Amino acid sequence: MVVTDSRMIELVNIGRSFRRADGRTVAAVSDVSLTIPEGEFVCLIGTSGCGKSTLLAMIAGLLAPSQGSIVVDGREIDGPGPERGMVFQRDSVFPWMRVVDNVEYGLRCRGVAAPERRAVALRYLDRVGLGHVERAWPRELSGGMLKRVAIATVFANGAKVLMLDEPFGALDYVTRHQLQRVLLDLWDDGRAGTTRRTVLFVTHDVDEALLLADRILVVGAGRIVDDIRVEAPRPRDTDTLLRSDAVAIKHRLLGHLGLERPLAQGRAAGAAA
Amino acid sequence: MTPVADSLRPGRAPDRLGSRTRALARAVDPLRLAGVAIGVAVWQGLTMLLPPIILPTPAGVAGRLRDDFWSAPALSYYGLTEPNLYGNLLYTAQNVLVAVLAGASIGIASGLLSARFPLVQAGLDPVVMTAGTVPILIAAPFLLIWFGVGRTSAVCLVVFYVAVTLHIFAARAARNVDPIFEQSARTLGAGSRRVLRDVLLPATVPEILGGLRIALAGAWGLEAVAELLGSQSGMGKVIEVLAGATDPQGIMAALLSLGSTAVLADLLAALAVARLTRWSAAAR
């Protein structure tokens, strides 16, 4: 069954509960329904333990939902698949493969011929600024460089949906901003061709969400509590964050995160409307 | 935060050769040679205080080793098949090699499987726990009953020891593999066979090879002891008959040849480990 409209990801009444050590069942995600069109850059934001990573893991197929169904690109998912790439918060680059072998690993899994997959891998390594370390071992790279390798790997694999679980959380300020640009630059490739890739990006950082997202989903206590569209034009920079609509969204997000009083949240929501 | 050096760029064959020579250089570093020299000097000093029947001189042992290595007619008089050290050393080395290969294959496979499948673990853990805590030699009477006197019993004993050791190392290594690597491989499109070949095996190689070197070192001693179980060849048997003949010089010559062979084998294993685990800083 192939759905021909632009819905790339469709969640219907998704829930996931875990059994705790004391035997009680805790719902990490409950009754989430959501449609994400193809090419949209979506940021998921929420406090620690709100269920956003669980949601991502279910879409990635690494975790089976307790109820509901997930349809990606017209097919109900049943485990991980190469059409859904994942960049993890922790380092996931294989230490036992050279950098270039890591980047072409997905293509190797799918039986792409060696010269061809090597060419693709080198192209993406160049794009993330690591053309010069293709033969290096991962242990020789810094944390920021390993993230670049991970990003090159998912893009080289040609995934239609990219999921990034707080990918830049552990990086310093400068590296984080460099990598945001690298990511947006690769995502923007789609503009010239047919369609952009659909991105789900989990973050704690309000400014990061404002700089990256077309749409910000606020997750709280296992549910989607707000769905905000970011209309600011691209490319975005520090000035974007100072626009009145961006400031309004920021107030609204800070309210959701419990960093500002509901009064401020109400005022911000009013301003945005 | 290591900056990437320019030298990384072309590193291919020279890099490989470099790591080999470096491993060799480490093995024969001057400090070790100095240690050997001091040991020999102390030994020489002690021979001036002790009678030769208690402690033979280094020169005497070296001469004896040179003489006995190719031909030691006295050994055939004591009932050994091979009247020289060379033949017995070869016999022992062959048994160790066969036992280590067989035992490692069994132990690595069972260790990896029990780390992955709880049922396998439940079945094997009692056996491994028992074998790991009780001295392995107590299995000898059973082996003698099952396989009779001779080579098979000795090799089986060593196979058992190596398999148990590597089972423990492999199971621990597999449990230590960060699940993020398997998750990452699966999201990139890897199936179960690829996960095994490209993630589980390479990730566990450094720890397993570390265990293999430990098992190899232990295997020499155990094989020599096992040869006392009625074997007609092997270094253990040689040492036994020389002890019976109160020949400390001969015993030390035999020990020296056995020890050197074991050190050489460990050196070769270390080279193989360095070659296979270039990616891992911890294994160096």
- How many separate domains does chain A show? 1
Identity of the residue numbered B217: A
Smallest CA–CA distance, residue B202 to chain A, in Å, is: 7
Q: Which ranges of chain B would DSSP assign to H, the alpha helix? A: 13-27, 30-47, 58-70, 73-77, 85-116, 118-133, 140-147, 151-176, 179-187, 192-194, 201-226, 235-244, 248-276
Structural domain span for residue A122: 97-158
pLDDT at B53: 85
Asked, for residue B147, whether it belongs to a domain, the answer is yes
Contacting residues for A67 by C-beta, under 8 A, at least 6 apart: A13, A14, A15
Tell me the C-alpha distance between A257 and A242, whole Å.
20
Tell me the C-alpha distance between B164 and B124, whole Å.
10
Both tokens of B248, joined, read 């400390």
pLDDT digit string (tens) for A198-222?
999 999 899 999 999 999 999 998 9
CA–CA–CA angle A177, A178, A183 (5° rounding): 95
Asked, for residue A195, whether it belongs to a domain, the answer is no
CB contact under 8 Å between A80 and B1, yes or no, is: no
What average pLDDT does the segment A178-193 reach? Answer: 82
CB contact under 8 Å between B280 and A140, yes or no, is: no
Asked, for residue A136, whether it belongs to a domain, the answer is yes
Asked, for residue B267, whether it belongs to a domain, the answer is yes
Smallest CA–CA distance, residue B219 to chain A, in Å, is: 29
pLDDT at A177: 92
Identity of the residue numbered A13: N
Q: Which residue has the tokens 């010269």?
A: A115
CB contact under 8 Å between A96 and B180, yes or no, is: no
Distance of CA B254 to the CA centre of its chain: 18
Smallest CA–CA distance, residue B213 to chain A, in Å, is: 21
pLDDT digit string (tens) for B9-33?
444 444 555 566 666 666 667 887 8
Asked, for residue A253, whether it belongs to a domain, the answer is no
Interface test with A, best of B1, B4, B188 (most A CBs within 10 A): B188
Both tokens of B176, joined, read 């230590």
CB contact under 8 Å between B2 and A142, yes or no, is: yes
Asked, for residue B2, whether it belongs to a domain, the answer is no
Closest CA to B216 of B165, B178, B172: B165
Which chain B residues are closer than 8 Å to A154 by Cβ?
Answer: 188
Q: Which residue has the tokens 């470099």?
A: B18
What interhelical angle do B151-176 and B140-147 show, nearest 10? 120
Interface test with A, best of B15, B187, B207 (most A CBs within 10 A): B187
ipTM: 0.89
Structural domain span for residue B107: 89-276
Both tokens of B250, joined, read 């001969």
pLDDT digit string (tens) for B153-211?
889 989 999 999 999 999 999 999 999 999 999 999 999 999 999 999 999 999 999 99
> DSSP letters along A175-238, please?
HHHHHHHHHHHHHTHHHHSS-PPEEEEEES-HHHHHHH-SEEEEEETTEEEEEEE--PPSSP-H
Asked, for residue A143, whether it belongs to a domain, the answer is yes
Interface test with B, best of A56, A92, A172 (most B CBs within 10 A): A92
pLDDT digit string (tens) for B141-168?
888 888 887 788 889 989 999 999 999 9
pTM: 0.81
Which chain A residues are closer than 8 Å to B12 by Cβ?
Answer: 135
Which chain B residues are closer than 8 Å to A103 by Cβ?
Answer: none
* pLDDT grade for B138, boundaries at 50, 70 and 90: confident
Both tokens of A174, joined, read 């400068």
pLDDT at A262: 60
CB contact under 8 Å between B187 and A110, yes or no, is: no
CB contact under 8 Å between B4 and A145, yes or no, is: yes
Contacting residues for A41 by C-beta, under 8 A, at least 6 apart: A187, A196, A198, A199, A201, A212, A213, A214, A215
- How many separate domains does chain B show? 1
Q: What residues of B are in the A interface, CB distance below 8 Å?
A: 1-4, 8-12, 178, 180-181, 183-191, 194, 198-199, 202-203, 205, 278-281
Q: What residues of A are in the B interface, CB distance below 8 Å?
A: 60-62, 79-82, 84-86, 88, 90-92, 94-98, 105-106, 109-110, 132-133, 135-143, 145, 153-154, 157
Which chain B residues are closer than 8 Å to A136 by Cβ?
Answer: 4, 8
What average pLDDT does the segment B130-137 reach? Answer: 79
Q: Say if CB A93 and CB A105 are below 8 A apart.
A: no
Asked, for residue A4, whether it belongs to a domain, the answer is no
Distance of CA B86 to the CA centre of its chain: 19
Which chain B residues are closer than 8 Å to A81 by Cβ?
Answer: 187, 189
Asked, for residue A111, whether it belongs to a domain, the answer is yes
Tell me the C-alpha distance between A106 and A98, whole Å.
14
What is the length of chain B? 284
More confident of the two residues A266 and B189: B189
Task: Please tell me which of the candidates A92, A136, A140 has its beta carbon nearest to residue B184.
Answer: A92
Asked, for residue B166, whether it belongs to a domain, the answer is yes
Asked, for residue A260, whether it belongs to a domain, the answer is no
CB contact under 8 Å between B184 and A94, yes or no, is: yes
Asked, for residue B143, whether it belongs to a domain, the answer is yes
Task: Please tell me which of the candidates B9, B180, B199 has its beta carbon nearest to residue A135.
Answer: B9
Asked, for residue A114, whether it belongs to a domain, the answer is yes
Question: Residue B140: is its pLDDT beyond 50?
Answer: yes
Q: What CATH number does the domain containing B244 carry?
A: 1.10.3720.10
Query: Distances from the Cα of B88 to the Cαs of A133, A225, B85, B92, B257, in angstroms?
Result: 52, 79, 5, 6, 10
